[in-house]
Structure 1
Amino acid sequence: MSFDTVSSVEVIAPNFKRTLSGVTSTIIQLIPLQRANGLKIATLGPGLPDDLAKIRWSALPGLWLRPRNRPFRIWHARRNTEMVAGILMHSVLRMKLKLLFTSAAQRDHRSFTKWLIRQMNAVIATSGKSGSFLKVPHTVIMHGVDTERFHPPQGDADSFAASGLPGEYLVGCSGRIRPSKGTDLFVEAMINLLPQHPEWTAVMTGRTTVENKGFEQELRQKIARAGLEDRILFLGEVPDVRIWYRRMTLYVAPSRNEGFGLTPLEAMASQTAVVASDAGAYAEMIAPGTGTVVPAGDGNALEAAIAPYLADPAKCADVATAGLVHVRENFPLEKEAGKILEVYETMFAAGSRR
């Protein structure tokens, strides 16, 4: 779906990155939901589905005019390049825009980024931790998960048996195979724990980029030396990771660092128990009784946290049930969309009073 004119568009969520990323995925998921709730929102940029509401680059001159029912449009940036474009259009070209930025970074921003953020009319942080690095007023709105797409097992295809793997229970992690994701920490824990628990099999789903092929090969060699090649498996980039969440009894998120990190929420929405590091927003999304959190990069702590789950699958079931309730109550995608809409409406109201 494309617009020839921007006259009806109230909010623009630009996407200035051609390859798929977490930010792009957020935009793709949120825009249809926001439009279904009556918001006139569209995106702009490459690498987006054909059916996603968008405006053409040729329509940008229309931003000098007000939208039909608002005093201005909101330019909702999520990257530095998108903030730069918004500032140029607002402050140099004098287009009728107000600027909003969503920050997921959990580190001290560089001077240029700090300057860009100070030019924004409003700022959202995706977690309390990311908000702690902001020096401007902001609203914390954590990402949500689509609880219709990510759901508990519903049939035989979702069972462990359907995987064709040995054993009775599956423990796994998902994400690119690289040190920042803690893949090596997961492998080390599995090498140490699986000999004590022959009923468990471990899998890793995710792509290995060229620069990390050597890293993966080293891990494969460690697994081979331990004689566990048939029980610790690299599945690569699977067609649909959701079915693997549903087949797992335990999901592990061992990242050393993350921006936000959605996979624990996706696993919990699939009624799978979770052990995670405190990278990204993991510690803020896992409440007591809904999973276990350990210090990022601490392999010994990770192994110690996983061990009780492998020893007691019933514990997994109890935690998985609590996690499912927690996610459905606190992290549905609809809640994220609703809170973002509140920020939009606050901006519109403040602008209308000036």
Structure 2
Amino acid sequence: HHPLADETGLSPLDAESLARSERRALGFARQVICTSRTTAHRLADGFWVEPGRLTVALPGTDRHPRPAPRDGEPIIVSLGALIPRKGHDVLLTALAKLGGRNWSCRIVGSADRDPEWSASLTELAKALGLSDRVRFVGTTSDPASELRAASIFALPSRHEGYGMVFAEALSHGLPIIACKAGAVPEVVPPEAGILVPPDDPEALANALGDLLDDNERRRSMANAAWQAGQRLPGWNDTAIAVATALEKAAS
């Protein structure tokens, strides 16, 4: 996970207070397990954790069968809790720029972590005239079914300490539209996704439009995504990395 001090929406005072607390806590740790190289670099540079105390244990990803070709109206799916860091406001603004293209979007994720923010997203969708095309699904016990039914995965997160949902999208063979933020470029290879700057709805709309307009490119990226998903570490790999860190801490 990323440091709490890096969470989107914090005041400078709160962010610095969290950073001080996290630096103190990390100072007592004999080993620190990180979910990405990006987070490890962040802890080394900004939280004074020596490289020798850092272990990267990438989260595991389950394998899934190669998906069948997806026909019909393209479905854009976005999985993630409705919090500012996930950038759903940017996604909605970008969707409103797609003009008369054929698409629908399903936003899947809990509204409970920040009810005020979640309500503002619903109002934004209405204000942008997207109510007929965008559905806020809420939480689901079967996110895999959402991924299997989709054509494109889009989540313009402002930061990710790893981004397990991007790994899941790859393993389901979904081309990804996301941002060059945090560890996302570490997870999503260029042949399987289009990464744009954070907080840039125009660039996000262009990326979405490119995939919606080009069926062949979408199929090619979907195939590349599935292949990339097969190369991701499994949970046994994660367990081995964690065990190595524990052995170091005990020695």
Structure 1 length as normaliser, TM-score? 0.59
Identity of aligned residues (%): 26
Pair 1:184–1:111, CA change in 2 (3 A)? closer
Q: Do 2:36 and 2:161's aligned partners in 1 also have CA atoms closer than 8 Å?
A: no
1:104 maps onto 2:2 in alignment: yes
1:238 maps onto 2:140 in alignment: yes
Q: Do 2:192 and 2:224's aligned partners in 1 also have CA atoms closer than 8 Å?
A: yes
User: Larger relative contact order (C-alpha < 8 A, sep ≥ 6)?
Assistant: 2
Decide which of 263, 271, 278 is 2:180's aligned counterpart: 278
Query: What secondary structure, in the 3-state scheme, does the structure 1 residue paired with 2:163 have?
Result: coil
Q: Do 1:223 and 1:232's aligned partners in 2 also have CA atoms closer than 8 Å?
A: no
Q: Which amino acid aligns with 2:86?
A: K
Q: What is the alpha-carbon distance in structure 2 between the residues aligned to residue 329 and residue 296 of structure 1?
A: 27
Q: Do 1:265 and 1:285's aligned partners in 2 also have CA atoms closer than 8 Å?
A: yes
Q: Which amino acid aligns with 2:124?
A: L
Q: Which amino acid aligns with 2:78?
A: C
Match in the other structure for 2:76: 171
Match in the other structure for 1:196: 100
Decide which of 233, 236, 243 is 1:341's aligned counterpart: 243
Q: What is the alpha-carbon distance in structure 1 between the residues aligned to residue 216 and residue 234 of structure 2?
A: 26
Gaps spanning 5+ residues in structure 1: where?
Answer: 1-102, 162-166
What does residue range 284-303 of structure 1 map to in structure 2 within 5 Å?
284-303=186-205
The Cα shift of 1:272 comes to 0.9
The Cα shift of 1:174 comes to 1.3
Query: What secondary structure, in the 3-state scheme, does the structure 2 residue paired with 1:234 have?
Result: strand
What does residue range 72-91 of structure 1 map to in structure 2 within 5 Å?
none
Match in the other structure for 2:37: 128
Q: What is the alpha-carbon distance in structure 2 between the residues aligned to residue 113 and residue 312 of structure 1?
A: 46
Q: What is the alpha-carbon distance in structure 2 between the residues aligned to residue 177 and residue 118 of structure 1?
A: 32
The Cα shift of 1:173 comes to 0.7
1:321 maps onto 2:199 in alignment: no
Q: What is the alpha-carbon distance in structure 2 between the residues aligned to residue 269 and residue 145 of structure 1?
A: 8
Pair 1:115–1:249, CA change in 2 (3 A)? same
Q: What is the alpha-carbon distance in structure 1 between the residues aligned to residue 111 and residue 128 of structure 2?
A: 17
Q: What is the alpha-carbon distance in structure 2 between the residues aligned to residue 317 and residue 255 of structure 1?
A: 24
Structure 2 length as normaliser, TM-score? 0.81
**Which of the pair has more CA radius of gyration?**
1
Pair 1:335–1:317, CA change in 2 (3 A)? farther
Query: What secondary structure, in the 3-state scheme, does the structure 2 residue paired with 1:260 have?
Result: coil
The Cα shift of 1:131 comes to 1.6
CA RMSD of aligned residues (A): 2.4
Q: Do 1:249 and 1:317's aligned partners in 2 also have CA atoms closer than 8 Å?
A: no
Q: What is the alpha-carbon distance in structure 1 between the residues aligned to residue 139 and residue 70 of structure 2?
A: 19
Query: What secondary structure, in the 3-state scheme, does the structure 1 residue paired with 2:61 have?
Result: coil
1:145 maps onto 2:61 in alignment: yes
Cα deviation 1:102-135 (Å, max 9, x = unaligned): x632848622321221221112222222122322
Match in the other structure for 1:205: 108
Aligned length: 231
Pair 1:280–1:342, CA change in 2 (3 A)? same
Q: Which amino acid aligns with 2:34?
A: A
Q: Which amino acid aligns with 1:124?
A: I
Q: Which amino acid aligns with 2:140?
A: V
